[in-house]
């Protein structure tokens, strides 16, 4: 569970079953366990109206556990990028009252939240639970490129190559933390690079 | 007779300077010999003749050069001007406000004629003479916010008010003190202020938000904020930090007076009539140390403020690297005698 630091940094909760007939779950890797944990608290028949979209880890764990919940639909996708067209379509066609649940890494929660916001769903109505890696999605404030799965502090921008301080300042619109050049005033200063977001 | 607009630059050869009259009218932000955050908001009413408050929207000798610098920034990075789709009406509100205020305060430079929705705007310093239909974006070369803020000094943030909060949903930001509109757009009041140290714990933002959401039409408010900038550079954006950051390592005892600038923001807050948004102009004033210390009271007081500034604030404002050099230089101008009350020079 990531610690709260500054106000723009997202705070995640624990998934809980919401009233309603239609439920959309989006999860990656260990996020599957947030769904199976929640299932114990769900009323019977809850998953009859649920779609689960799941991006497994490379070891393909937890797929069977999700199948066992007998959701109306289980869709397994290889990556978030591959999932995006389908997700946009699902949200565009969604009826009023659809409940959205996001579980897994911050990158997954942030990007799925971004798509949901664009579809007009209020962020405070979305259930979230952080599970698994603390890796961050980072936008370089200088070149605007996004670097995925940042685990170190500082981190190198995968686009322009500047060494960036990964701030806690977070944009829901960009689904990213802000990266700012850490040695802009004197490029010869190279601070030690530490594993900060394992 | 009007204002004589200076030909000057805010980059490369940095020829920006203040005339002696502009030094005296500089909005010095310290009314005592120490500084700490406060909700220092007051009604934005007209002040003394010859001050920056003589008009509620101030136009000064740097106007033309600042607008040229803004055009250069926008050409390099169009993301400095953004407006979310629901903010167009607020953009028209802002256009009306700035045209009215500039024409009112400086009739020799700006003229606004209205015939129903047909508006005729003349901006003599920039050589603009346009007729357009108020409310019809297709009759302007840019969206209404971008059009008028390319002709108005200072940065502008337009805040949408909903859910008891203010949302940074549009802005023209090219002279900012190290924050990114592109990153912060769409955030609420607490979120975009999240990186500011100490002030959250003091409840500053809760009280400020309460004040701002209650601002009424025709009753604007204002506050001063400050930082320091090396060289008279308007564009101290985070986007370009890797380009201007090295300036901070160039301060020496010999060049402090010329390189180190006090940067003061006159922030004002106005309710917009049609959109119910708030516009938040952030007007930036720069003055180099050599100019500032021509007023002995300001020299003494600035020395004490910078010397005693809490470390977190010095770090946040980016002063760490050159603060000792600056304090040493200013200390020679501080004989320890008392300073008179108030902001103004003696």
Measure CA of the first residue to CA of the last residue in chain A; give whole Å: 12
CA-based nearest residue in chain B for residue A178: B183
Q: Tell whether A165 lies on the interface with B, counting CB pairs under 8 A.
A: no
Domain-located, residue A15: no
With cut-offs at 50, 70 and 90, classify the pLDDT of residue B1: low
Q: Are residues A60 and A95 in the same domain?
A: yes
Q: B228 pLDDT exceeds 90?
A: yes
Q: Are residues A32 and A126 in the same domain?
A: yes
Sign of CA dihedral B314, B317, B319, B321: positive
Q: Are residues A48 and A116 in the same domain?
A: yes
Give the integer Cα–Cα distance in Å for B80 and B172.
6
> Choosing from B70, B150, B222, B223, which is the catalytic residue?
B223
Mean residue pLDDT of chain B comes to 95
Q: Are residues A121 and A165 in the same domain?
A: no
Q: A4 pLDDT exceeds 50?
A: no
Distance of CA B146 to the CA centre of its chain: 17
- Please answer whether residues B269 and B278 qualify as being in contact, where contact means their C-beta atoms are separated by less than 8 angstroms: yes
Q: Are residues A124 and A54 in the same domain?
A: yes
Query: Between A and B, how many residue pairs show a Cβ–Cβ distance under 8 A?
Result: 64
Domain-located, residue A9: no
Q: Using one digit for the tens of pLDDT, what is the confidence trace for B15-37?
A: 999 999 999 999 999 999 988 77
Chain A residues within an 8 Å CB radius of B242: 142, 162, 181, 184
| Among A83, A107, A130, residue at a domain's last position | A130
CA-based nearest residue in chain A for residue B79: A144
- The H or E element that residue A127 is part of is strand A127-130
- Please answer whether residues A44 and A16 qualify as being in contact, where contact means their C-beta atoms are separated by less than 8 angstroms: no
Token pair for residue A151? 């685990």
Instruction: Please report, for residues B37, B305, B342, the alpha-carbon distance to residue B31 in angstroms, rounded to integers and kept in the order given.
Output: 13, 10, 5
Q: Are residues A109 and A162 in the same domain?
A: no
B150 is catalytic: no
| Among A77, A108, A130, residue at a domain's last position | A130
Q: Are residues A142 and A51 in the same domain?
A: no
- Domain of A142, in residue numbers: 136-195
> How does DSSP assign A137-192, residue by residue?
EEEETTT--EEEEE-EESEE-TTT--EEEEEEEEETTTTEEEEEETTSS-TT--PP
Q: Using one digit for the tens of pLDDT, what is the confidence trace for A78-94?
A: 999 999 999 999 998 88
Give the integer Cα–Cα distance in Å for B229 and B244.
10
User: Is the ipTM above a cut-off of 0.85?
Assistant: yes
Domain-located, residue A6: no
Q: Using one digit for the tens of pLDDT, what is the confidence trace for A136-167?
A: 999 999 999 999 999 999 999 999 999 999 99
Ramachandran region, residue B186 (left: φ > 0; alpha: ψ -120 to 50; beta: rest)? left
Q: Are residues A30 and A103 in the same domain?
A: yes
Chain A residues within an 8 Å CB radius of B185: 173
CA-based nearest residue in chain A for residue B320: A185
Give the integer Cα–Cα distance in Å for B103 and B122.
9
Q: Locate the domains of chain B by residue range.
A: 20-331
Q: Using one digit for the tens of pLDDT, what is the confidence trace for B52-105?
A: 999 999 999 999 999 999 999 999 999 999 999 999 999 999 999 999 999 999
Q: Is A169's CB within 8 Å of B238's CB?
A: no
Angle between helices B323-331 and B296-308 (to 10 degrees): 140
Q: Using one digit for the tens of pLDDT, what is the confidence trace for B129-158?
A: 999 999 999 999 999 999 999 999 999 999
As for how many domains chain A has, the answer is 2
Q: Are residues A50 and A115 in the same domain?
A: yes
- Please answer whether residues B289 and B111 qualify as being in contact, where contact means their C-beta atoms are separated by less than 8 angstroms: no
Q: Are residues A27 and A112 in the same domain?
A: yes
CATH number of the domain encompassing residue A42: 3.40.50.80
Q: What is the pLDDT at residue B261?
A: 98
Burial code of A175-189, b = ≥16 C-beta within 10 A, e = fewer?
bbbbbbbbbbbeeee
Long-range residue pairs from A57-62, CB within 8 A, at least 24 positions apart, any chain: A57/A28, A57/A29, A57/A30, A61/A29, A61/A32, A62/A29, A62/A30, A62/A32, A62/A33, A62/A36
Q: A3 pLDDT exceeds 60?
A: no
Q: Is B245's CB within 8 Å of A181's CB?
A: yes
User: B288 forms bridges with which residues in the sheet?
Assistant: B261
């Amino acid at each position: 569970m990531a610690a709260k630091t500054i106000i723009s940094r997202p705070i995640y909760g624990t998934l809980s079953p919401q009233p309603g007939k239609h439920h959309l779950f989006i999860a990656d890797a260990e996020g599957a366990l947030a769904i199976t944990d929640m299932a114990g608290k769900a009323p019977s028949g809850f998953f009859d109206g649920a779609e689960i979209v799941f991006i497994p880890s490379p070891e393909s764990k937890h797929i069977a556990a999700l199948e066992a919940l007998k959701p109306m639909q289980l869709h397994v996708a290889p990556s978030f990028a591959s999932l995006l067209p389908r997700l946009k379509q699902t949200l565009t066609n969604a009826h009023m009252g659809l409940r959205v649940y996001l579980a897994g890494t911050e990158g997954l929660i942030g990007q799925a939240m971004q798509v949901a916001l664009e579809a007009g769903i209020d962020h405070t109505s979305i259930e979230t639970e952080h599970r698994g890696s603390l890796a961050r999605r980072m936008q370089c404030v200088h070149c605007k490129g996004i670097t995925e799965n940042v685990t170190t502090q500082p981190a190198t921008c995968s686009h322009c190559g500047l060494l960036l301080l990964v701030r806690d300042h977070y944009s829901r619109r960009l689904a990213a933390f802000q990266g700012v050049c850490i040695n802009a005033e004197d490029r010869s200063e190279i601070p030690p690079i530490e594993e900060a977001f394992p | 007779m009007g204002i004589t607009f200076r030909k000057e630059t805010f980059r490369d050869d940095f020829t920006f300077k203040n005339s002696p009259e502009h030094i005296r009218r500089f909005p010095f932000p310290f009314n005592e010999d120490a500084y700490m955050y406060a909700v220092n908001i007051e009604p934005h009413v007209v002040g003394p003749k010859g001050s920056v408050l003589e008009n509620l929207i101030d136009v000064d000798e740097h106007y033309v050069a600042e607008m040229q610098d803004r055009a250069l920034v926008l050409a390099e990075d169009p993301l400095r001007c953004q407006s979310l789709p629901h903010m167009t009406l607020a953009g028209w509100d802002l256009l009306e406000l700035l045209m009215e205020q500039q024409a009112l305060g400086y009739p020799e430079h700006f003229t606004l004629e209205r015939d129903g929705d047909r508006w005729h705007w003349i901006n003599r310093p920039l050589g603009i003479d346009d007729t357009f239909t108020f409310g019809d974006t297709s009759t302007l070369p840019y969206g209404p916010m971008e059009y008028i803020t390319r002709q108005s000094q200072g940065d502008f943030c337009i805040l949408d008010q909903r859910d008891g909060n203010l949302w940074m949903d549009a802005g023209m930001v090219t002279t900012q003190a190290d924050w990114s509109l592109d990153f912060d757009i769409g955030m609420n009041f607490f979120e975009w202020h999240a990186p500011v140290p100490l002030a959250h714990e003091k409840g500053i933002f809760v009280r400020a938000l309460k004040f701002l959401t209650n601002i009424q039409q025709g009753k604007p408010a204002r506050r001063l904020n400050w930082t320091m900038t090396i060289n008279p550079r308007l564009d101290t954006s985070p986007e370009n930090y890797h380009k201007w950051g090295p300036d901070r390592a160039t301060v020496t005892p010999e060049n402090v007076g010329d390189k180190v600038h006090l940067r003061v923001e006159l922030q004002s807050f106005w309710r917009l009539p049609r959109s119910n948004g708030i516009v938040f102009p952030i007007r930036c004033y720069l003055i180099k140390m050599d100019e500032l210390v021509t007023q002995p009271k300001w020299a003494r007081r600035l020395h004490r403020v910078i010397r005693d500034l809490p470390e977190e604030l010095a770090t946040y404002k980016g002063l760490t690297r050159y603060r000792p050099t600056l304090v040493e230089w200013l200390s020679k101008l501080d004989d320890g005698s008392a300073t008179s009350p108030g902001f103004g020079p003696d």
